[in-house]
Structure 1
Amino acid sequence: MSTDIDWSGWPEAYDRAIFDEVDSTMAEAARNAPFLTRPTWIMARRQTAARGRRGRAWANPAGNFSATLVMYPNSTPDQAALRSFVASMALYETLAKVVDPAKLGLKWPNDVLLAGGKVAGILLEASGQGTGTDWLSIGIGINLQTAPTPVEVEPRALPPVAVADHSPARLPVEGVLFELAVAFDRWETSFQTYGFEPLRQNWLRHAARLGQPITARTGNTETLGTFETVDAQGNLILNTARGRQAIAAADVYF
């Protein structure tokens, strides 16, 4: 990825807005989503109040990547949620340009691993009524230069790692945005054209701990089982002592 960004190959269907500083790109997306006319990438070089899943704080040292894509999927919430797999594949392809792809893994539902640690995370938030989705925000954070000290320590959580620890490349955030947007557009086009199945199959090729025991925690309930697959709805499928179980949302631990 060059430090001189040639924006001429930017996907035509998407706008972009780049800020030096915002409270969080997810918050900026929520403020602007009702007024945007096209899907838009919102990137900030610095966030002052970044957050992750379930409202957890997200450390965002300078030089790391933070962006949110606002899009209008015109679909049910369940279909909109499958964009986490689109984002995962786009992240995988972007990072595979600068690190050994064999070191990368996709952790259900929305993390990217590098050498066994968490290098990137995805956060989805949607707005809509009934069976519709008015807009969807896809937040993406990547530890490019620094593996931050976790703001909140979760038991059994994987340690954060940085791209810089595994690659000599020093990546400009604008270049990462460009590569990520191009890859996302390609996978989103595939998803809209061919449905979820090709995306699911590709995601599974890079899935972390597939065929191995994992633990899925939902609230105060933990389910231990063998990670068998992801089904046609994006659910995690575990083979457990009580049989085969489909899990729609959970924190996963190895």
Structure 2
Amino acid sequence: MWPDGYAKRVLPEVDSTNAEAARIAPDLAGPEWILGLRQTAGRGRRGRAWVNPEGNFTATLVMRPLEAPDVIALRSFVASLALYDAFAQVTGTDAGLSLKWPNDVLLNGGKVAGILLEGSPGYLAIGIGVNLIAAPDASQVEAGAVSPVSLLAETGVRLTPEAFLTALAQAYAKWERTFTTFGFAPVREAWLSRAARLGETITARTTQQETVGVFETVDAEGNLVLKTPKARVAIAAADVFF
């Protein structure tokens, strides 16, 4: 069942669902999901290309939230939890699922989905890509990054993008209600209970530096907290390597 209060548009082809979100944002009456069945100019974090074979999932939720920018950005965790629940629903199990800070979903240790938040004053676009039926070759990802996997190859479950969108929209609406009613605390607790490599040594890499430490927690602002030999370090944005 489609959640109340959310509009939906399905596009046979689009350059980027996040780009479409920017175009329609000024006229939004409420939150709206945009599903692109074929995307010609998809992108991931830091402007990387997002490979999207036909049958995979590319969608964006565009909304006009009223909170401060630092609070709005915490919806990456809301979206992660929604993806986790949607995968559990469509497969009948959460076995093998985990969440990788800041915005990836892992299945059996491989990346099955990613999230990209974009926006400007007045709107937020939550872009989501899911390898439903096919994953990029490992040679197409950054050295040392988690290898991509597909839902079909890992579970045998074959879904249409439209079917997955319904499951995701339902799950997102639930976590959005939790977030707007109770704040980040319950979202953070739920995210940490599903976190990949919590308590283990990981590497956080930015364009300027690399930090190696034990993944201790995610703090109340959504920062990754690593315990290094010298100090506890809170990291606002980085790529994480295991």
- Is the 1:99–1:167 Cα contact (8 Å) retained in structure 2? no
Look up the SS of the partner of 1:174 in the other structure: helix
Question: 2: distance between equivalents of 1:151 and 1:22?
Answer: 26
- Is the 2:16–2:41 Cα contact (8 Å) retained in structure 1? yes
Larger mean CA deviation between 33-42 and 84-93 belongs to 33-42
Q: Give per-residue Cα distances to partners, 1:55-75, cap 9 Å, x unaligned.
A: 110100011000000011101
Question: 1: distance between equivalents of 2:131 and 2:210?
Answer: 29
Question: 2: distance between equivalents of 1:200 and 1:234?
Answer: 8
Question: 1: distance between equivalents of 2:141 and 2:204?
Answer: 18
Task: Give the partner amino acid of 1:202.
Answer: A
The runs of 5 or more residues in structure 1 that have no matched partner are 1-8, 129-133
Look up the SS of the partner of 2:95 in the other structure: helix
Question: 1: distance between equivalents of 2:168 and 2:139?
Answer: 26
Q: Pick one of 94, 97, 105 that aligns with 1:112.
A: 105
Question: 2: distance between equivalents of 1:188 and 1:65?
Answer: 21
Indicate yes or no: 2:134 matched with 1:142.
no
Question: 2: distance between equivalents of 1:99 and 1:24?
Answer: 31
Indicate yes or no: 2:84 matched with 1:96.
no
Look up the SS of the partner of 1:224 in the other structure: strand
Shift, 1:247, TM fit: 0.5
Task: Give the partner amino acid of 2:9.
Answer: A
Question: 2: distance between equivalents of 1:160 and 1:19?
Answer: 25
- Is the 1:215–1:253 Cα contact (8 Å) retained in structure 2? yes
The aligned runs of 1:32-51 (5 Å cut-off) are 32-51=24-43
Question: 2: distance between equivalents of 1:91 and 1:100?
Answer: 13
Query: Would you say how many aligned residue pairs link Structure 1 and Structure 2?
Result: 241
Look up the SS of the partner of 2:117 in the other structure: strand
Q: Pick one of 5, 15, 21 that aligns with 2:13.
A: 21
Question: 2: distance between equivalents of 1:62 and 1:140?
Answer: 15
Look up the SS of the partner of 1:101 in the other structure: coil
Task: Give the partner amino acid of 2:21.
Answer: A
> If the length of structure 2 is used for normalisation, what is the TM-score?
0.97
Question: 2: distance between equivalents of 1:137 and 1:151?
Answer: 29
Q: Pick one of 95, 116, 119 that aligns with 1:123.
A: 116
- Is the 2:141–2:147 Cα contact (8 Å) retained in structure 1? no
Shift, 1:150, TM fit: 5.8
- Is the 1:59–1:150 Cα contact (8 Å) retained in structure 2? no
Shift, 1:242, TM fit: 1.6
- Is the 2:28–2:63 Cα contact (8 Å) retained in structure 1? no
Identity %: 59
Question: 2: distance between equivalents of 1:152 and 1:173?
Answer: 23
Residue matched to 2:217: 229
Residue matched to 2:176: 188
Residue matched to 1:202: 190
Shift, 1:234, TM fit: 0.5
Q: Give per-residue Cα distances to partners, 1:24-48, cap 9 Å, x unaligned.
A: 1111111111122211000011101
Question: 2: distance between equivalents of 1:13 and 1:200?
Answer: 25
> If the length of structure 1 is used for normalisation, what is the TM-score?
0.92
Task: Give the partner amino acid of 1:215.
Answer: T
Question: 1: distance between equivalents of 2:119 and 2:220?
Answer: 21
Residue matched to 1:170: 158
